[in-house]
Amino acid sequence: MKKSLSLGLFAAGVLMAGAAQAENVDFNSTLLNTCLISVSTPGTLGVSGDGTTLGSESGGVAATLSVTSTGSNTISISAPALQQAPGSYDPSGEVVAISYTGVSGLSSVNQAYTSSATSFGVGVVASSSLVFNAQVTNANGFPAGDYELRTVVTCE
């Protein structure tokens, strides 16, 4: 009887070892088409030595935007405009312009000074930057007071 019991346990062990269990381990994701823009460094304007240019490259500071994009997006930059100037400022003959350059994942983007609206396509970009410069040129000069130049950057 001992022999048959041992043989029975051995047969049960062989049957259990042959029945292996398998499980799939799946990873899934749904990526949304997103684009985030944030101003890392606000720009400032300074005046040139001859007094005819007010700009970020004339004693001011360039503005820096951080851009993160997933999917296929378009970044649009509005035409720049002077939003605020002293009452004694003479705008006749002024030219308001911006330029920008991409850094890292946007390194192929390079826009010379323009007064027009511009745009460019962007795909997946993980935390890249755009560096903006702005200027107002005016042969009439710039009287003392507060100035504000604005362009709007949209990503959609």
Domains and CATH numbers, the chain: 34-155 (2.60.40)
pLDDT digits (tens, 9 = 90+) for 102-141: 998 899 999 999 999 999 999 888 889 999 999 999 999 9
pLDDT digits (tens, 9 = 90+) for 54-68: 999 999 999 999 999
Sign of CA dihedral 124, 115, 111, 61: negative
pLDDT(9) > 60 = no
Q: Report d(CA 35, CA 73) in Å as an integer.
A: 7
Q: Report d(CA 149, CA 133) in Å as an integer.
A: 11
* Contact in structure between 54 and 45 (CB atoms under 8 Å): yes
Using pLDDT thresholds of 50, 70 and 90, give the confidence band for residue 93: very high
Q: Report d(CA 97, CA 132) in Å as an integer.
A: 11
Using pLDDT thresholds of 50, 70 and 90, give the confidence band for residue 71: confident
For a pLDDT cut of 70, what percent of the chain falls above it?
Answer: 88
| pLDDT at residue 142 in the model | 96
Coil vs helix vs strand at 129: strand
Using pLDDT thresholds of 50, 70 and 90, give the confidence band for residue 16: low
This model's pTM is above 0.85? no
